[in-house]
Structure 1
Amino acid sequence: MALRTLGPKAAAALDEELMSSGAFSIDQLMELAGLAVSQAMYALSPPSKTPNILVACGPGNNGGDGLVAARHLFHFGYKPTIYFPKQTKNELYGRLRTQLEQLKVPFTDDFVGEAKRTDWIIDAIFGFSFSGEVREPFPAVIKALAESKVPVLAVDAPSSWNIDSGPPDDGPGKGYNPDALISLTAPKPLVKWFKGRHFVGGRFVGKEIANKYEFDVPPYKGSDQIVEVGSHGEKL
Protein backbone atom coordinates (compact mmCIF):
# COMPACT_ATOMS: atom_id res chain seq x y z
CA MET A 1 0.00 0.00 0.00
CA ALA A 2 1.32 3.44 -0.94
CA LEU A 3 1.90 6.20 1.58
CA ARG A 4 -0.65 9.00 1.31
CA THR A 5 0.67 12.09 -0.43
CA LEU A 6 0.71 15.69 0.77
CA GLY A 7 -0.40 18.34 -1.73
CA PRO A 8 1.14 21.83 -1.99
CA LYS A 9 -1.60 23.66 -0.05
CA ALA A 10 -1.54 21.09 2.74
CA ALA A 11 2.28 21.15 2.83
CA ALA A 12 2.28 24.95 3.17
CA ALA A 13 -0.38 24.80 5.92
CA LEU A 14 1.61 22.10 7.72
CA ASP A 15 4.77 24.23 7.67
CA GLU A 16 2.81 27.20 9.00
CA GLU A 17 1.36 25.12 11.83
CA LEU A 18 4.73 23.60 12.70
CA MET A 19 6.17 27.11 13.06
CA SER A 20 3.23 28.39 15.13
CA SER A 21 1.50 25.97 17.46
CA GLY A 22 4.19 23.37 16.77
CA ALA A 23 6.87 25.74 18.16
CA PHE A 24 9.48 24.82 15.54
CA SER A 25 11.69 27.53 14.07
CA ILE A 26 12.53 27.68 10.37
CA ASP A 27 16.14 26.95 11.35
CA GLN A 28 15.09 23.70 13.04
CA LEU A 29 12.96 22.55 10.12
CA MET A 30 15.76 23.32 7.65
CA GLU A 31 18.30 21.51 9.81
CA LEU A 32 16.10 18.40 10.03
CA ALA A 33 15.42 18.46 6.30
CA GLY A 34 19.08 18.94 5.39
CA LEU A 35 20.14 16.12 7.69
CA ALA A 36 17.63 13.81 6.01
CA VAL A 37 18.93 14.80 2.56
CA SER A 38 22.51 14.06 3.59
CA GLN A 39 21.53 10.66 5.00
CA ALA A 40 19.74 9.81 1.76
CA MET A 41 22.89 10.70 -0.17
CA TYR A 42 24.95 8.45 2.10
CA ALA A 43 22.48 5.59 1.60
CA LEU A 44 22.74 6.01 -2.17
CA SER A 45 26.53 6.13 -2.33
CA PRO A 46 29.04 6.67 0.52
CA PRO A 47 31.98 9.08 0.15
CA SER A 48 34.43 6.21 -0.26
CA LYS A 49 32.80 5.53 -3.65
CA THR A 50 31.63 8.97 -4.80
CA PRO A 51 33.26 11.79 -2.81
CA ASN A 52 32.40 14.73 -5.06
CA ILE A 53 28.90 16.19 -4.67
CA LEU A 54 27.56 19.26 -6.48
CA VAL A 55 24.68 20.87 -4.57
CA ALA A 56 22.46 23.19 -6.65
CA CYS A 57 20.56 25.55 -4.34
CA GLY A 58 17.62 27.79 -5.21
CA PRO A 59 16.69 31.03 -3.42
CA GLY A 60 13.97 29.55 -1.18
CA ASN A 61 13.65 27.01 1.61
CA ASN A 62 14.58 24.14 -0.71
CA GLY A 63 17.91 25.84 -1.32
CA GLY A 64 18.39 26.28 2.42
CA ASP A 65 17.85 22.53 2.87
CA GLY A 66 20.60 22.01 0.29
CA LEU A 67 23.03 24.30 2.14
CA VAL A 68 22.42 22.42 5.38
CA ALA A 69 22.82 19.08 3.59
CA ALA A 70 26.17 20.22 2.17
CA ARG A 71 27.47 20.96 5.66
CA HIS A 72 26.48 17.52 6.91
CA LEU A 73 27.96 15.90 3.80
CA PHE A 74 31.27 17.62 4.47
CA HIS A 75 31.34 16.13 7.97
CA PHE A 76 30.37 12.71 6.54
CA GLY A 77 33.56 12.80 4.45
CA TYR A 78 32.28 14.08 1.09
CA LYS A 79 33.74 16.98 -0.89
CA PRO A 80 30.69 19.17 -1.66
CA THR A 81 30.67 22.14 -4.03
CA ILE A 82 27.83 24.65 -3.91
CA TYR A 83 26.02 26.35 -6.78
CA PHE A 84 23.94 29.13 -5.20
CA PRO A 85 23.42 31.87 -7.80
CA LYS A 86 20.41 33.77 -6.39
CA GLN A 87 21.37 34.63 -2.84
CA THR A 88 18.99 36.69 -0.75
CA LYS A 89 19.77 39.10 2.09
CA ASN A 90 17.93 36.82 4.52
CA GLU A 91 20.13 36.45 7.60
CA LEU A 92 19.49 32.69 7.86
CA TYR A 93 20.94 32.01 4.42
CA GLY A 94 23.89 34.26 5.19
CA ARG A 95 24.65 32.20 8.29
CA LEU A 96 24.37 28.92 6.37
CA ARG A 97 26.79 30.24 3.75
CA THR A 98 29.23 31.43 6.42
CA GLN A 99 29.19 28.00 8.05
CA LEU A 100 30.19 26.43 4.73
CA GLU A 101 32.85 29.06 4.02
CA GLN A 102 34.40 28.39 7.42
CA LEU A 103 34.73 24.73 6.39
CA LYS A 104 36.36 25.86 3.12
CA VAL A 105 33.51 24.33 1.10
CA PRO A 106 33.83 25.90 -2.38
CA PHE A 107 31.10 27.81 -4.22
CA THR A 108 30.95 27.85 -8.02
CA ASP A 109 29.26 30.02 -10.65
CA ASP A 110 29.76 27.39 -13.37
CA PHE A 111 27.12 24.73 -12.79
CA VAL A 112 27.40 23.09 -16.21
CA GLY A 113 31.19 22.83 -16.04
CA GLU A 114 31.20 21.58 -12.45
CA ALA A 115 28.49 19.03 -13.23
CA LYS A 116 30.87 17.31 -15.66
CA ARG A 117 33.45 16.82 -12.88
CA THR A 118 31.26 15.63 -10.01
CA ASP A 119 30.07 12.17 -8.92
CA TRP A 120 26.52 13.10 -7.83
CA ILE A 121 24.32 16.19 -8.05
CA ILE A 122 21.80 17.25 -5.43
CA ASP A 123 18.89 19.22 -6.90
CA ALA A 124 17.76 21.62 -4.16
CA ILE A 125 16.51 24.35 -6.50
CA PHE A 126 12.70 24.32 -6.26
CA GLY A 127 10.47 22.60 -3.70
CA PHE A 128 6.75 22.07 -3.16
CA SER A 129 5.90 25.76 -3.55
CA PHE A 130 7.21 26.00 -7.14
CA SER A 131 4.79 27.07 -9.86
CA GLY A 132 4.95 28.99 -13.12
CA GLU A 133 7.96 29.46 -15.37
CA VAL A 134 11.56 28.58 -14.57
CA ARG A 135 13.41 31.90 -14.37
CA GLU A 136 17.06 32.74 -15.00
CA PRO A 137 19.61 31.49 -14.28
CA PHE A 138 17.91 28.13 -13.74
CA PRO A 139 16.62 27.09 -17.23
CA ALA A 140 20.13 26.07 -18.33
CA VAL A 141 20.74 24.35 -14.99
CA ILE A 142 17.56 22.27 -15.19
CA LYS A 143 18.24 21.45 -18.84
CA ALA A 144 21.68 20.20 -17.74
CA LEU A 145 20.04 18.09 -15.02
CA ALA A 146 17.70 16.55 -17.59
CA GLU A 147 20.61 15.70 -19.90
CA SER A 148 23.14 14.77 -17.21
CA LYS A 149 24.85 11.39 -17.19
CA VAL A 150 25.78 12.10 -13.57
CA PRO A 151 23.19 10.73 -11.11
CA VAL A 152 20.89 13.25 -9.42
CA LEU A 153 19.17 13.25 -6.01
CA ALA A 154 16.20 15.66 -5.98
CA VAL A 155 15.06 17.31 -2.74
CA ASP A 156 11.28 17.02 -2.23
CA ALA A 157 10.55 17.56 -5.93
CA PRO A 158 12.50 17.35 -9.18
CA SER A 159 12.96 21.02 -10.07
CA SER A 160 10.52 22.29 -12.74
CA TRP A 161 7.96 19.55 -11.93
CA ASN A 162 4.43 20.55 -10.98
CA ILE A 163 3.71 19.20 -7.51
CA ASP A 164 0.31 17.85 -8.55
CA SER A 165 0.78 16.96 -12.22
CA GLY A 166 4.42 15.93 -12.40
CA PRO A 167 6.99 16.56 -15.16
CA PRO A 168 6.53 19.36 -17.70
CA ASP A 169 5.58 18.57 -21.30
CA ASP A 170 8.05 21.11 -22.62
CA GLY A 171 10.68 23.59 -21.45
CA PRO A 172 14.03 22.97 -19.75
CA GLY A 173 12.67 20.19 -17.50
CA LYS A 174 11.21 18.06 -20.29
CA GLY A 175 12.51 14.51 -19.91
CA TYR A 176 13.98 15.18 -16.46
CA ASN A 177 13.47 12.24 -14.11
CA PRO A 178 16.22 12.09 -11.48
CA ASP A 179 17.82 8.91 -10.21
CA ALA A 180 16.64 9.47 -6.64
CA LEU A 181 14.19 11.60 -4.68
CA ILE A 182 13.89 12.40 -1.01
CA SER A 183 10.37 13.48 -0.06
CA LEU A 184 10.38 15.68 3.03
CA THR A 185 7.79 14.76 5.67
CA ALA A 186 5.59 12.95 3.11
CA PRO A 187 5.57 12.16 -0.63
CA LYS A 188 3.96 14.76 -2.89
CA PRO A 189 1.44 13.81 -5.64
CA LEU A 190 4.17 14.06 -8.31
CA VAL A 191 5.63 10.72 -7.17
CA LYS A 192 3.09 9.10 -9.49
CA TRP A 193 5.48 9.97 -12.35
CA PHE A 194 8.77 9.28 -10.54
CA LYS A 195 10.80 6.20 -11.51
CA GLY A 196 13.92 6.12 -9.32
CA ARG A 197 14.90 5.30 -5.74
CA HIS A 198 12.68 7.11 -3.27
CA PHE A 199 13.24 8.08 0.36
CA VAL A 200 11.06 9.86 2.89
CA GLY A 201 12.81 12.01 5.51
CA GLY A 202 12.08 14.45 8.30
CA ARG A 203 11.52 12.37 11.39
CA PHE A 204 9.87 14.83 13.74
CA VAL A 205 6.12 14.84 13.07
CA GLY A 206 3.80 12.99 15.45
CA LYS A 207 0.85 10.83 14.43
CA GLU A 208 -1.71 13.36 15.66
CA ILE A 209 -0.62 16.07 13.23
CA ALA A 210 -0.07 13.47 10.48
CA ASN A 211 -3.69 12.37 10.89
CA LYS A 212 -4.85 15.99 10.78
CA TYR A 213 -3.13 16.56 7.42
CA GLU A 214 -3.93 13.05 6.17
CA PHE A 215 -0.46 11.67 5.49
CA ASP A 216 1.44 8.67 6.84
CA VAL A 217 4.51 8.61 9.07
CA PRO A 218 6.70 5.88 7.54
CA PRO A 219 8.29 3.14 9.70
CA TYR A 220 11.67 4.68 10.56
CA LYS A 221 14.19 2.26 12.07
CA GLY A 222 16.60 2.83 14.93
CA SER A 223 18.18 6.27 14.72
CA ASP A 224 17.59 6.65 10.96
CA GLN A 225 16.25 10.00 9.75
CA ILE A 226 15.13 8.47 6.43
CA VAL A 227 13.30 5.41 5.17
CA GLU A 228 13.38 4.04 1.63
CA VAL A 229 10.00 3.44 0.02
CA GLY A 230 8.91 2.43 -3.48
CA SER A 231 9.28 4.93 -6.29
CA HIS A 232 5.58 5.82 -6.03
CA GLY A 233 5.60 5.84 -2.23
CA GLU A 234 4.81 2.17 -1.60
CA LYS A 235 5.97 0.75 1.71
CA LEU A 236 8.86 -1.67 1.10
Structure 2
Amino acid sequence: MDKMNHSSAEAEAETIEPLRFLSKGDMAAIETELVRDYKFGQQQLVEIWGQACALAITKAYPLSSLTKKQPTVLVICGPDQNGSIGLVCARHLRIFDYEPTIYHPKRSSHSLHQDFTVQCEKMDIPFLSYLPTEVQLINDAYNLVVDAMLGLEEDCSNIKEPYSGILATLKQIKIPIASVDVPSGWDVEEPSQDGINPDVLISLIAPKKCATNFSGKHFLAGRFLPYDIQKKYELNLPDYSGTDCLIEL
Protein backbone atom coordinates (compact mmCIF):
# COMPACT_ATOMS: atom_id res chain seq x y z
CA MET A 1 0.00 0.00 0.00
CA ASP A 2 2.82 2.35 0.94
CA LYS A 3 4.51 1.62 -2.37
CA MET A 4 1.30 2.42 -4.24
CA ASN A 5 0.88 5.71 -2.39
CA HIS A 6 4.50 6.57 -3.02
CA SER A 7 4.11 5.83 -6.74
CA SER A 8 0.93 7.91 -7.04
CA ALA A 9 2.63 10.82 -5.23
CA GLU A 10 5.55 10.62 -7.65
CA ALA A 11 3.18 10.53 -10.62
CA GLU A 12 1.32 13.55 -9.29
CA ALA A 13 4.57 15.44 -8.78
CA GLU A 14 5.62 14.68 -12.33
CA THR A 15 2.40 16.16 -13.73
CA ILE A 16 2.90 19.55 -12.03
CA GLU A 17 3.81 21.98 -14.79
CA PRO A 18 6.72 24.37 -14.23
CA LEU A 19 6.15 28.06 -13.60
CA ARG A 20 5.95 29.97 -16.88
CA PHE A 21 8.38 32.81 -17.55
CA LEU A 22 6.77 35.53 -19.67
CA SER A 23 7.96 37.42 -22.72
CA LYS A 24 7.35 41.14 -23.19
CA GLY A 25 4.49 40.28 -25.56
CA ASP A 26 2.90 37.89 -23.05
CA MET A 27 2.92 40.56 -20.37
CA ALA A 28 1.44 43.19 -22.68
CA ALA A 29 -1.38 40.81 -23.67
CA ILE A 30 -2.21 39.95 -20.07
CA GLU A 31 -2.25 43.60 -18.99
CA THR A 32 -4.48 44.50 -21.93
CA GLU A 33 -6.97 41.78 -20.98
CA LEU A 34 -6.96 42.79 -17.32
CA VAL A 35 -7.86 46.37 -18.22
CA ARG A 36 -10.16 45.74 -21.21
CA ASP A 37 -12.01 42.54 -20.30
CA TYR A 38 -11.71 42.25 -16.52
CA LYS A 39 -12.12 45.99 -15.84
CA PHE A 40 -9.07 46.41 -13.67
CA GLY A 41 -8.13 50.09 -13.64
CA GLN A 42 -4.51 51.03 -14.34
CA GLN A 43 -4.34 52.86 -11.02
CA GLN A 44 -5.69 49.76 -9.28
CA LEU A 45 -3.02 47.52 -10.83
CA VAL A 46 -0.19 49.90 -9.97
CA GLU A 47 -1.47 50.15 -6.38
CA ILE A 48 -1.62 46.34 -6.04
CA TRP A 49 1.90 45.95 -7.44
CA GLY A 50 3.43 48.83 -5.48
CA GLN A 51 2.08 47.55 -2.18
CA ALA A 52 3.31 44.03 -3.00
CA CYS A 53 6.79 45.41 -3.73
CA ALA A 54 6.86 47.16 -0.35
CA LEU A 55 5.76 43.96 1.39
CA ALA A 56 8.47 41.98 -0.41
CA ILE A 57 11.07 44.48 0.79
CA THR A 58 9.83 44.17 4.39
CA LYS A 59 10.21 40.39 4.10
CA ALA A 60 13.70 40.58 2.59
CA TYR A 61 14.89 43.40 4.89
CA PRO A 62 12.74 43.46 8.05
CA LEU A 63 13.10 46.46 10.35
CA SER A 64 14.64 44.21 13.00
CA SER A 65 17.57 43.52 10.67
CA LEU A 66 18.27 47.25 10.26
CA THR A 67 18.43 48.21 13.94
CA LYS A 68 22.03 49.44 13.79
CA LYS A 69 21.01 52.38 11.64
CA GLN A 70 17.95 54.17 10.34
CA PRO A 71 15.88 52.07 7.89
CA THR A 72 16.60 54.39 4.97
CA VAL A 73 15.62 53.37 1.44
CA LEU A 74 16.42 55.23 -1.79
CA VAL A 75 13.68 54.61 -4.38
CA ILE A 76 14.77 55.51 -7.93
CA CYS A 77 11.75 56.03 -10.18
CA GLY A 78 11.52 56.22 -13.96
CA PRO A 79 8.87 58.04 -16.01
CA ASP A 80 6.76 55.01 -16.99
CA GLN A 81 4.78 52.32 -15.18
CA ASN A 82 7.70 50.95 -13.16
CA GLY A 83 8.27 54.46 -11.83
CA SER A 84 4.63 54.71 -10.73
CA ILE A 85 4.96 51.35 -8.98
CA GLY A 86 8.08 52.69 -7.25
CA LEU A 87 6.14 55.72 -5.98
CA VAL A 88 3.42 53.48 -4.52
CA CYS A 89 6.10 51.23 -3.03
CA ALA A 90 7.74 54.24 -1.35
CA ARG A 91 4.40 55.35 0.14
CA HIS A 92 3.75 51.90 1.62
CA LEU A 93 7.30 51.64 2.95
CA ARG A 94 6.67 54.93 4.76
CA ILE A 95 3.48 53.47 6.25
CA PHE A 96 5.52 50.43 7.36
CA ASP A 97 7.91 52.76 9.29
CA TYR A 98 10.78 52.71 6.81
CA GLU A 99 12.33 56.01 5.72
CA PRO A 100 12.10 56.21 1.93
CA THR A 101 13.61 58.98 -0.17
CA ILE A 102 12.68 59.28 -3.85
CA TYR A 103 14.93 60.22 -6.75
CA HIS A 104 12.73 60.95 -9.73
CA PRO A 105 14.85 62.59 -12.44
CA LYS A 106 12.25 62.77 -15.25
CA ARG A 107 8.71 63.23 -14.08
CA SER A 108 5.91 61.98 -16.27
CA SER A 109 3.05 64.13 -17.57
CA HIS A 110 0.68 61.17 -17.07
CA SER A 111 -2.05 62.10 -14.58
CA LEU A 112 -1.73 58.82 -12.61
CA HIS A 113 2.01 59.32 -12.23
CA GLN A 114 1.42 62.86 -11.00
CA ASP A 115 -1.25 61.68 -8.55
CA PHE A 116 1.12 59.09 -7.06
CA THR A 117 3.78 61.79 -6.76
CA VAL A 118 1.41 64.07 -4.83
CA GLN A 119 0.48 61.17 -2.52
CA CYS A 120 4.17 60.72 -1.64
CA GLU A 121 4.64 64.44 -1.11
CA LYS A 122 1.63 64.48 1.25
CA MET A 123 3.28 61.68 3.22
CA ASP A 124 6.32 63.96 3.70
CA ILE A 125 8.56 61.63 1.70
CA PRO A 126 11.57 63.67 0.53
CA PHE A 127 12.43 63.96 -3.16
CA LEU A 128 16.06 64.40 -4.20
CA SER A 129 17.05 66.74 -7.03
CA TYR A 130 20.22 64.71 -7.68
CA LEU A 131 21.48 61.14 -7.37
CA PRO A 132 23.84 60.66 -4.42
CA THR A 133 27.37 59.83 -5.46
CA GLU A 134 28.78 56.32 -5.19
CA VAL A 135 30.74 57.45 -2.12
CA GLN A 136 27.60 58.79 -0.42
CA LEU A 137 25.71 55.58 -1.17
CA ILE A 138 28.56 53.32 -0.11
CA ASN A 139 29.03 55.26 3.15
CA ASP A 140 25.74 54.00 4.52
CA ALA A 141 23.54 56.95 3.64
CA TYR A 142 21.00 54.30 2.66
CA ASN A 143 20.39 50.69 3.65
CA LEU A 144 18.82 49.76 0.33
CA VAL A 145 18.14 51.01 -3.20
CA VAL A 146 14.85 50.21 -4.95
CA ASP A 147 15.28 50.11 -8.73
CA ALA A 148 11.95 51.21 -10.25
CA MET A 149 13.42 52.88 -13.31
CA LEU A 150 12.98 51.24 -16.68
CA GLY A 151 11.12 47.94 -16.57
CA LEU A 152 9.36 46.45 -19.57
CA GLU A 153 8.90 49.70 -21.49
CA GLU A 154 12.53 50.55 -22.12
CA ASP A 155 14.75 49.42 -25.00
CA CYS A 156 17.76 48.16 -23.07
CA SER A 157 20.03 48.57 -26.10
CA ASN A 158 19.45 52.32 -26.20
CA ILE A 159 19.35 53.65 -22.64
CA LYS A 160 19.86 57.41 -22.52
CA GLU A 161 20.77 59.85 -19.78
CA PRO A 162 20.04 60.28 -17.00
CA TYR A 163 19.37 56.54 -16.69
CA SER A 164 22.61 55.33 -18.27
CA GLY A 165 24.54 57.34 -15.67
CA ILE A 166 22.36 56.06 -12.83
CA LEU A 167 22.94 52.47 -13.95
CA ALA A 168 26.71 53.08 -14.03
CA THR A 169 26.52 54.25 -10.40
CA LEU A 170 24.35 51.33 -9.31
CA LYS A 171 26.85 48.88 -10.77
CA GLN A 172 29.50 50.24 -8.38
CA ILE A 173 27.65 50.33 -5.06
CA LYS A 174 27.81 47.62 -2.40
CA ILE A 175 24.48 48.17 -0.64
CA PRO A 176 21.61 45.89 -1.68
CA ILE A 177 19.41 46.64 -4.68
CA ALA A 178 15.81 45.47 -5.04
CA SER A 179 14.46 45.61 -8.60
CA VAL A 180 10.81 45.93 -9.59
CA ASP A 181 9.71 43.30 -12.16
CA VAL A 182 12.62 43.71 -14.63
CA PRO A 183 16.00 45.00 -13.43
CA SER A 184 16.83 48.24 -15.23
CA GLY A 185 19.07 47.65 -18.22
CA TRP A 186 18.13 43.97 -18.60
CA ASP A 187 16.67 42.57 -21.80
CA VAL A 188 13.25 41.14 -20.86
CA GLU A 189 13.74 38.15 -23.17
CA GLU A 190 17.30 37.16 -22.23
CA PRO A 191 18.29 35.18 -19.11
CA SER A 192 21.97 36.17 -19.20
CA GLN A 193 22.61 39.77 -18.17
CA ASP A 194 25.47 42.25 -18.07
CA GLY A 195 23.84 45.08 -16.09
CA ILE A 196 23.18 45.71 -12.44
CA ASN A 197 23.07 42.72 -10.15
CA PRO A 198 20.09 43.13 -7.78
CA ASP A 199 19.94 41.17 -4.55
CA VAL A 200 16.13 41.05 -4.65
CA LEU A 201 13.75 40.80 -7.61
CA ILE A 202 9.99 41.33 -7.29
CA SER A 203 8.21 39.82 -10.30
CA LEU A 204 4.70 41.04 -11.08
CA ILE A 205 1.96 38.65 -12.33
CA ALA A 206 4.58 36.05 -13.34
CA PRO A 207 8.37 36.13 -13.70
CA LYS A 208 9.85 37.32 -16.99
CA LYS A 209 12.25 35.34 -19.18
CA CYS A 210 15.18 37.46 -18.01
CA ALA A 211 14.72 36.05 -14.48
CA THR A 212 15.24 32.42 -15.52
CA ASN A 213 18.69 32.20 -13.91
CA PHE A 214 18.21 34.81 -11.18
CA SER A 215 19.99 33.63 -8.03
CA GLY A 216 19.00 36.28 -5.47
CA LYS A 217 15.83 36.50 -3.38
CA HIS A 218 12.97 36.29 -5.87
CA PHE A 219 9.42 37.24 -4.90
CA LEU A 220 6.29 36.86 -7.01
CA ALA A 221 3.25 39.14 -6.65
CA GLY A 222 0.43 37.69 -8.71
CA ARG A 223 -2.22 36.28 -6.42
CA PHE A 224 -4.90 38.74 -7.54
CA LEU A 225 -4.81 37.36 -11.07
CA PRO A 226 -8.17 35.92 -12.28
CA TYR A 227 -8.13 32.14 -12.67
CA ASP A 228 -9.25 32.26 -16.30
CA ILE A 229 -6.18 34.31 -17.24
CA GLN A 230 -3.91 32.01 -15.27
CA LYS A 231 -5.33 29.07 -17.22
CA LYS A 232 -5.36 30.77 -20.63
CA TYR A 233 -1.67 31.71 -20.43
CA GLU A 234 -0.66 28.48 -18.64
CA LEU A 235 1.13 30.44 -15.93
CA ASN A 236 1.25 27.51 -13.48
CA LEU A 237 1.52 29.88 -10.53
CA PRO A 238 2.57 28.45 -7.16
CA ASP A 239 0.21 28.16 -4.20
CA TYR A 240 0.29 31.20 -1.95
CA SER A 241 0.25 30.66 1.80
CA GLY A 242 -2.68 31.80 3.93
CA THR A 243 -3.64 35.35 2.99
CA ASP A 244 -0.23 36.29 1.55
CA CYS A 245 -0.32 38.33 -1.67
CA LEU A 246 3.24 37.35 -2.58
CA ILE A 247 5.47 34.32 -2.38
CA GLU A 248 9.23 33.75 -2.39
CA LEU A 249 10.20 31.50 -5.28
TM-score above 0.5: yes
State the alpha-carbon separation in 2 of the partners of residues 70 and 151 from structure 1: 16
CA distance in structure 2 between the aligned counterparts of 1:206 and 1:160, rounded to whole angstroms = 30
> Which residue, out of 161, 164, 171, partners 2:189?
164
- Counterpart residue number, 2:137: 115
The residue identity in structure 1 corresponding to 2:131 is F
Partner of 1:87: 107
SS in structure 2 at match of 1:34: helix
Corresponding residue to 2:39 among 19, 23, 35: 23
> TM-score, normalised to structure 2's length?
0.85
Mapped pair 1:144 → 2:160: no
Cα distance in structure 2, aligned partners of 1:202 and 1:57: 22
Q: Cα RMSD (Å) of the superposition?
A: 1.5
**Aligned ranges 1:53-64 → 2 under 5 Å:** 53-64=73-84
Distance 2:41 2:185 in 1: 27
Relative to the length of structure 1, the TM-score reads 0.90
Q: 2:228 aligns with which of 170, 185, 208?
A: 208
Q: Distance in 2 between matches of 1:192 and 1:228?
A: 15
Asked whether the equivalents of residues 20 and 236 of structure 2 are also in contact (C-alpha less than 8 Å), the reply is: yes
1:186 corresponds to:
206
Q: What SS does structure 2 have at the residue aligned with 1:190?
A: helix
Distance 1:60 1:166 in 2: 23
Where 2:152 maps in the other structure, the secondary structure is coil
Q: Does 1:13 align with 2:35?
A: no
| Kept after mapping to 2: 8 A contact 1:112/1:141 | no
Larger Rg computed on CA atoms: 2
The secondary structure found in structure 1 opposite 2:124 is coil
Structure with the bigger RCO (C-alpha within 8 Å, sep 6+) is 1
- How far did 1:2 drift? 4.2
Conserved 8 A contact 2:80-2:153:
no
